[in-house]
Structure 1
Amino acid sequence: MQASCINYHHTGFFSKNLTDYLCNDSQLSNFYNYQPEINSFKQIIADKSNASINRSVLVEVLKSQYASLGSGPWNENIEALAKPNAFTVTTGHQLCLGTGPLYFIYKIITTINLAKKVEQANPENKIVPVYWMATEDHDFEEINHFNLFGKKVTWDLEAKGATGRLATQTLHPLITELKSILGTSREADELLNLFETAYIKEQNLANATRVFVNELFGKYGLIIIDADDPKLKKLFAPIIKEDILDQKSYQLVSKTVAELEKIDNHIQVKPREINFFYLDDQLRERIVFENNCYKVLNTNIGFSKEELEKEIDKHPEKFSPNVIMRPLYQECILPNLAYIGGGAEISYWMELKSTFDHYKLNFPMLVLRNSALIVDEGSKKKLKQLNLETKNLFTETNKLIDIFVKQQSANELNLDAELQKIEKAFIQISLKAQNIDPTLAGSVEAEKAKFFNSLKGLESKLAKAEKKKFEQQTSQIVKVKEKLFPNGSLQERVENFMPHYLKYGNGFIEMLANNFDPLDFRFTIIE
C-alpha cells in the first residue's frame, strides 16, 4: 500500500469556492473566523471557553442515549465533556443506510484524526470527536440506499417525517438481499451481523445508526449525538423564538448571500423568512407566516404570535431547524472548536457568520474533510502496464487517451511544424495580394482559414487512425476510468465501504486513519 496526494484544484472535481478558501483568498476573509491550521486552535479554545455551554444537560442526554451500548472509550469521552477543559470537533451527516457513500466514512475519520491532532498540540485539553446525526432530516430518498458492486440496494418504504424516528422493522427484505450479495466469508458474516444488530434489533433509524457507527468507530472514542431531544432543544429555545418572530437569520443570510454573489461565489443555500419546521411523529413541515398567523404547511396547524411563544416554551422539541439554523443549534449545545464538512458544507457555513455574530455564538473553524481515491490491485496493475500514473486518471477520458497514444506512437501525430511553414507562406501571399489590391487581404484570410481547418481535420484523422492501433490499451483506459470514477463521479460519492471491508476487514478503516491528515488540504490517492 502506498499513498500520495495531489492538489484539489488539479482533480477538476472541486469548486472555485472551495479552492479559494483553501488558498486563503482575502475576498473570503470576512465570512469565517479562523484559518484552518493547527496554530489557530489555542485562540479558538480561549474563545469557546467564554461560551455558555450547559455541559451537565449535554452529558445527561448523551449518557441516556448510550445507555444500551455498554462500556467503551465513549464513556470516558462523555464524562470528560462535563469538564471545562474538554471540547469537541464535529461533523454532521444524514442517517445514510449502511453509511451510504464512502465520504460518510471519510468525514468521521477526518474528525477523529483532527481531535487527536488538536489534543496533541494542546495537551492540557481533552478534544472529543463528535458525529452529529441529522435525525430530523426528512429527505428519505437521499438516505434509503447504498451502491454495492454496481447494484443499488434500496429500502422500500413510504416514509414521512423525521428519518431518525422511522421504524426499522421493514428492513428484513433488504438484509436478505444483502446476504446474497456479500457472499460467504468472515468479513461478510461480520457485516451481516452488524446490519442485524443495528437495523433489526433497534427500533428506529436513529438508534440503529448509532449502533452501526459505534461498532465501526467507537474504539476511537467517537461520540454520536442525536439532537432530536427535548432537553437539548430547550437550550436552543430562546434562539428558536427570536428567529421565528424577528426573522433575523433571513435578513442576515440574505445580506451575506448578496455580498458573496458580488465576488462570484456560488451560493449553496438560500434562506427562508422562517428557517424552522414543525416536527411531530410522521410530520416535518415548514412554518410560514401568512395572514398574521404562523401556519404549518400541509396541515391545519396554526398559531398566533402568543400561541407560538407558548408552544416553543412548552414543546421546543417540536421546532426543527433547517440547514440555515442547524449549525447554530449545534454550536449552542456543544463546546465545539471546528466543523468538518465537504466542499458544499464549507460554502454554506460561510453564509452564516453574521447570524452567529448576531446570536453571540462563536463561529468554529471550518475544516474540509479528507477525500480519497482507492486504487485496487487490478487497476494498479493495468495502469503500470499502460505506463500511466494514477494522478493521470483525473484527466478527462478522451484527453487521457490522446496523451497515451502520443506517448506510445512512433509517428508524429500533429502538423505543427507544417502549419508554421504554411503560416509563413500565407504571410507572403497576403503581402503580394495587398500590393496588387488591398481589398484582396480579406480573401486571403478566408482562404487561409479554410485551408487551416482542412489541415486540422486531417490531423484529427491521423490521430484517429493511430488510435486504432492501440484499441486494446485505450479500452483498458476506459475500463479503469469507469471503475475508479463510477458514472464519471468521484468514487467516494458513489461507492459504499463494504467492498473494501470484505477485502481488509477493520484494517480498511485503520488504513484510512493512518493516511488521512485533516489539515493537509490535498486529495489522497491510496494504491
Structure 2
Amino acid sequence: MKVHQIPFQETGYFSSLIGDYLSKNQKLSDFYGNFPDLEGFKKQLELKQKSFKVETRKVLVEALINQYNNFNISELTSKNVNKLAGKNTFTVTTGHQLNIFTGPLYFLYKIVSTINLTKLLNAEFPENNFIPIYWMATEDHDFEEINYFNFKGKKVIWNRESSGAVGRLKTEGFDTVFETFSDQLGNSTNANFIKELFKKAYLLNDNLTDATRYLVNELFGEYGLVIIDGDDVLLKKQFVPIVKDEILNKTSFKEVSIANKKLEENYKIQVNPREINLFYLKDNLRERIIFENDFYKVNNTVITFSEEEIIEEIKNYPDRFSPNVIMRPLYQETILPNLCYIGGGGELAYWFQLKNYFKTVNTPFPILLLRNSALLISNKQLVKLEKLNVTLAEIFLKQGDLINKKVKEISKVDIDFSQQKFYLHQQFESLKELAKQTDASFIGAVNAQEKKQLNGLDNLEKRLLKAQKRKLTDEVDRINKLQNELFPTNSLEERTRNFSEIYLEIGEALIPMLLKSLDPLKLEFTIIEY
C-alpha cells in the first residue's frame, strides 16, 4: 500500500472558499476562530475548558448511557462515554445524515478523520482525553436524500412513505431492500459479511436511528467511537435557553444575516436563515415554526401558540423543538465539550456563516476541519494508468481535457498550433503599426482579419485533434474506461460509491487501511494504492 497527496485546490473538485480557508486567505479570517493545527488546538482547549460546565457533562453521560441501552458496545467506547464526565475530556465531532448502509464512501472518511484526529491529540496533549463523536442527524426530514445507496452503478432504494424526522421511521420494507441487494453480492466470504451486517442492522432494529447506531458501531466501535442522537429530551433541556431566545428575539436570523452580507462579497452563500430557525417535532411531524399576526404557528398544520403558550411548551416539552441547519451546530456545541467539527466543503461553508451568532450567545466557536478525501486505486488500475502514461495528478482532469492532452502527447502529428498563432499575431502587430502610420481607420479591418485567421487556426486544430482521436480510438477508449472506473458519473468516487463495493474486494482490511492512510491535519487530498 502506498499513499500519495495532492493539494485540494489542484483536484478541481473544491470551491474557492475551501481553497482560501486552507491557504488562510485574509478574506475569510473573520469567519472562523482557531485554525486546525496544533497551536490552534492548544488555544481551543483553553477556550472550551473555561466554558463547559460539569453539570452539562453529567447530563451528556446519562443521555449516552440511556441511548446505548440494549446495544453491545466495545470496552473502549464504554470507557470513552464515562470519560466524558471528567473536566479534562474533550470531543472531536463529525455528523452525517442516516444514509442507508452509510450512503457514499465519504461517510467512512468523515469518521476515520475524527478517530485519527483524537489519536493525534491524545498523543500531543496526554494530560487530556479526546473522544471521537459521530452525530446522527436523526431529526432531518429529507427522506429522498437518504433512502438509497449506489452499488456498482445502480441505486438500491428503500421505497416507502415518509413524514417527520427520519430517525423515527420504522424499518418496515427493508426485507425487500435486503433481497435486492443480496442478489447482487454473490456468496464470497466478504459478500456474506456484508449481507449479515445489513440484515442485523436493518431487519433486527425497529427504527432508522437504532439501525444506524448498530451499523456504525459494528464498523467503528472497536476504535472507541461514541455515537450520539440529538433527538433526546435530556439533551434538549440543555438547549432550552437558546430555544427561548430564538423564539422571542430571532437572534440567529439577525446575526447570520449580518455575516452573510459580508461573506457574499467574495463567496456564494450556502444557506439562508429564516426568521425562526426551529422546527416543531412530534410523532410523524417536523414542520417550521413561523410567526404571523402575533401568533406562533406550525407550518402546514392547525397548531398555534401565543407567546406565553409556546414558552410553556418549550419548558414542558423541549424535545418538540428541533434546530434546523442554522441552529444545529450551536446545539452540538452546547451539549458537547467539543473542540473541532469535521465536515465536507459544503458543511464548512455554512459553519463559516455562524461565527457571529456563536459570539452573540456566548458559545465558543469550534475549530473547523475539512474531512479527509481519498481516491482508492487498485494495483491493477495503477498498472493500466502507467501503460497509458497517465499520472495520478492527470487522472483528476476533466475527461475531455485529459483525452485532448494525451492524444496530443502520443500523436506523431503536431496538433498544437500555438507557434503558428504566435507568428500570426506578430505579423498582425506589424500590420497594425503600418495602419497607424497611414490610416488609423484601417486598424479595425486589421483586427477583424486577425481574429478571422486565428479562428481559422483554432478550427483546423480542432479538426486535426478530432481526426487523431479517431485514429487513436483504442487509447482513447481505455483512458475513458479507466477514468470512469475511478470517477463514476464524472465525480469523485467518494461522493457516489458505497463502501460495500470496496469491501467485496479487500474485506476487513478496508477500515484499518483508511485509518493508516488518512492524516486529518495534512490538509491535502489522499490517493491510496491498494
TM over 0.5: yes
Match of 1:119 among 110, 117, 122: 122
- Written as runs of structure 1 = structure 2, the 5 A alignment for 1:253-332 is 253-262=256-265, 264-332=266-334
Aligned residues: 526
1: CA distance, partners of 2:465 / 2:389: 20
Identity of aligned residues (%): 47
Show the counterpart of 1:69: 71
Whole-Å separation in 2 of the counterparts to 1:418 and 1:402: 19
Question: Which stretch has the larger CA shift, 35-44 or 426-435?
Answer: 426-435
Among 166, 169, 173, the alignment partner of 2:172 is: 169
Residue 92 of structure 2 is matched in structure 1 by 89
CA offset at residue 98 of structure 1? 0.1
Amino acid at match of 1:334: L
Q: Please state if 1:160 is matched with 2:163.
A: yes
Q: 1:272-306, CA deviations, whole angstroms, 9 ceiling, x for partnerless residues?
A: 10000000111000000011100001111110000
Q: Deviations over 1:129-176 (max 9, x none)?
A: 000000000101100000001110000010110011000122110001
TM-score, length basis structure 1 = 0.97
1:323, distance to aligned residue in structure 2 (A) = 0.4
Q: Which residue is 1:210 aligned to? A: 213
Q: Which residue of 1 aligns with 2:389?
A: 387
When the two chains are superposed, the root-mean-square deviation of aligned CA atoms in Å is: 1.5
1:359 maps onto 2:361 in alignment:
yes
Structure 1 pair 455/152, CA: closer, same or farther in 2 (3 Å)? same
In structure 2, do the counterparts of structure 1 residues 417 and 314 end up closer, same or farther at CA, with 3 Å as the change threshold?
closer
Q: Cα distance, 1:415 vs. partner? A: 3.0
1:49 aligns with 2:52: no
Query: Cα gap change, 1:452/1:357 in structure 2, threshold over 3 Å: closer, same or farther?
Result: closer
* Cross-structure match for 1:485: 487
Amino acid at match of 2:22: L
1:421 positional shift: 3.9
Structure 1 partner of 2:507: 505
Q: Which among 339, 342, 345 is matched to residue 340 of structure 1?
A: 342
Once the two structures are TM-superposed, the CA of residue 376 in structure 1 deviates from its matched residue by 2.8
Secondary structure of the residue that 1:182 maps to in structure 2?
Answer: coil
Partner of 1:219: 222
> Compared with structure 1, are the counterparts of its residues 453 and 43 closer, same or farther at alpha carbon in structure 2 (3 Å cutoff)?
closer
Question: 1:28 and 1:423, CA in 2 relative to 1: closer, same or farther beyond 3 A?
Answer: closer
Distance in 1 (CA, whole Å) between partners of 2:271 and 2:436 is: 60
- Per-residue CA distance 1:327-385 (angstroms, 9 max, x = gap): 11111111111000011111111111111111111111001100011123343222111
On the 8 A contact 2:90/2:339 being kept in 1, the answer is yes
Q: Give the unaligned 5+ runs of structure 1.
A: none
The worse-fitting range, judged by mean Cα deviation, of 2-11 and 421-430 is 421-430
In structure 2, distance between residues paired with 1:442 and 1:299:
68
Relative to structure 2, which stretch is displaced further, 480-489 or 280-289?
480-489
- What residue number does 1:140 align with? 143
Aligned-partner Cα distance in 2 for 1:482–1:436 = 58
- Give the partner amino acid of 1:200: L
- Aligned AA for 2:214? V
Cα distance in 2, alignment partners of residues 427 and 224 from structure 1: 69
CA displacement at 1:427 relative to structure 2: 4.6
**Cα distance in 1 between the residues matched to 2:213 and 2:459:** 60
2: CA distance, partners of 1:242 / 1:422: 69
Distance 1:47-1:410 versus aligned 2 partners, 3 A rule: same
AA aligned to 1:443 is: A
- Cα shift at 1:410: 2.4
CA distance in 1, matches of 2:363, 2:418: 61
Counterpart-to-counterpart distance in 2, 1:206 and 1:443: 72
The alpha-carbon deviation at position 432 of structure 1 amounts to 5.7
Judge conservation of contact 2:408–2:416 (CA < 8 Å) in 1. no
Superposed displacement of residue 472, structure 1: 0.5
What 5-or-longer segments of structure 2 have no aligned partner? none
**1:256 CA drift (Å):** 0.6
CA distance in 2, matches of 1:107, 1:353: 22
Aligned equivalents of 1:428, 1:28: Cα separation in 2 = 47
- Aligned-partner Cα distance in 2 for 1:426–1:281: 75
The amino acid of 1:411's aligned partner reads V
**Distance (Å, rounded) in 1 between the aligned partners of 2:176 and 2:225:** 30
Q: Contact 2:61/2:82 (CA < 8 Å) preserved in 1? A: yes
The offset of 1:259, in angstroms, is: 1.1
SS at match of 2:239: helix
8 Å contact 2:89–2:337 — kept in the other structure?
yes
